[in-house]
Amino acid sequence: MMMKLPVRILLIILCAAMILILPFAVSSPNLLNDVKTELMNDGTDVIDFGRLLFSSAKAEEAEDENSLEVEEMIEGELSVSPEWALPLDFTPGQEPKEEAFGENTYEDDSIRVKLEEQSMEDGTKIFIAHVQIADPSQLRTGVAKPEKPSSTKTKTVKAMAKNYNAVIALSGDNYVDNPKKTTFEYRMTNKIRSSTNKLKDILIIDDQGDFHLFIKSEGIKEFPAELKKQGRKLVNAFTFGPALVKDGELLEIDDNYGYNPHGRDPRAAIGQTGPLSYVMVLVQTTDRDGKTGLSQGKLAELMYNLGCVQAFNLDGGNSAEMVFGQQIIKGMAYGDERTLSDIIYFATIQP
């Protein structure tokens, strides 16, 4: 049966409208490039790292060598025997199992780690380690001289990671570089220093593996007693910063904080995303001219968009280093390993 003329005209109009609308409905393959260009313009506007790191790439974007893709963390609960827990001292973790390492992953009954690498157009590289543990004792710190933590002795991150059987390790705050009377430092319940510094932020990690941040050290003197009332212990304390994310809120970076807050430098940071879930981040520079790296503000945005509830900046520059298995990732790709006083690391407790 022949279609009536008004109906045919209506169908022609609808087809024409769809042709006109189609280019606007299809995602642009340049979306990620636009966001990465925004990142390199180190201004004051907030960059949506969520778009940058967690965009679901379209087919045409996947073909773009500059597009960024982030794999999701391995799901599923971890379950271990209570007697596997490590003591809260400088006892090393269980030795990592060679067969538990995969391509940029580690998994056994007590811990999962997934490491991903992102490359920016300017040459900056960002290494993100997602970590899940079964027991709080697996989040640990190591020092160069455990029999005397207050010593000025230093070692490379690689050497300390090996000594403590770390599955993955990150440079700490290198407290030996700070004057003794200006920092509040605990390592594995050992009090190294107990001074406060009104210019610096402090990260506390308790025996449940939870992070607590203190801006400009406010409230830190009373906190150990408060923890004790809650039946908890202060295990580790770092004076460095700045704090990047606190109680789920992105923090504004103080212009006068220190450590070149607005410059593009190698960076190291750690954040808590949930109970016994964490991210470690290392930002690597690949040039000597200050054209690669991230500012503290951009690092804060990154940690926020990675889902951190609490996040803290650690020692950066040529101190920044991550060790995962046989991989040694330096903050300065062209530099030598620097010796430091301490590391923060995750261990396996599976015998």
* pLDDT greater than 60 at residue 337: yes
Kindly report the backbone phi and psi dihedral angles of residue 193, in degrees, each rounded to the nearest multiple of 5, phi listed first: -145, 150
- Output the pTM of the full model: 0.80
195-231 b/e (C-beta count within 10 Å ≥ 16 → b):
ebbeebbbbbbbbebbbbbbbbbeebeebbeebeeee
Per-residue model confidence as pLDDT tens digits over 127-155: 999 999 999 999 999 999 999 999 999 99
Q: Which residues pair with 202 in a beta bridge?
A: 214, 239
Place 29 in a pLDDT band, splitting at 50, 70 and 90: very low
Bigger pLDDT: 261 or 25? 261
Separation CA 238–CA 317 (nearest Å): 17
pLDDT at 197: 85
- What integer pLDDT is reported at residue 14 of this predicted model? 65
pLDDT band at 196 (very low <50, low <70, confident <90, very high): confident
In this predicted structure, the answer to whether residue 22 has a pLDDT above a threshold of 60 is no
Q: Name the residue with tokens 């006068």.
A: 256
Residue boundaries of the structural domains of the chain: 27-70, 80-346
pLDDT above 60 for 224: yes
Question: What pLDDT score does 325 carry?
Answer: 92
What single-letter DSSP state applies at residue 285? B
Higher pLDDT, 45 or 293: 293
* CA–CA dist 118, 103 (Å, integer): 15
Round the average pLDDT of the chain to a whole number and report it: 84
> At CA 323, angle to CA 248 and CA 67, rounded to 5?
60
Token pair of 341 as six digits: 């006083």
Q: In this structure, what are the phi and psi dihedrals at residue 297, rounded to the nearest 5 degrees?
A: -65, -45
> Mean pLDDT across the stretch 18-46?
43
pLDDT category of residue 43 using cuts at 50, 70 and 90: very low
- Over the stretch 86-110, which tens digit does the pLDDT of each residue have? 999 999 999 999 999 999 999 999 9
Rounded to whole angstroms, what are the CA distances from 226 to 135, 203, 217, 231? 23, 15, 15, 9
Q: What is the DSSP string of 31-81?
A: HHHHHHHHHHS--SSPP-HHHHHH----HHHHT-TT----PPPPPS-----
**Is residue 45's pLDDT more than 90?**
no
- Residue 197, token pair as written in the block: 């510094």
DSSP annotation of 249 reads E
Whether the CB-CB separation of 268 and 320 falls below 8 Å is answered with yes
Helix (H, G, I), strand (E, B) or coil at 284: strand
Q: What pLDDT does residue 336 have?
A: 87
> In this predicted structure, what is the pLDDT of residue 253?
94
Determine the distance from the C-alpha atom of residue 187 to the mean position of all C-alpha atoms in its chain, rounded to a whole number. 20
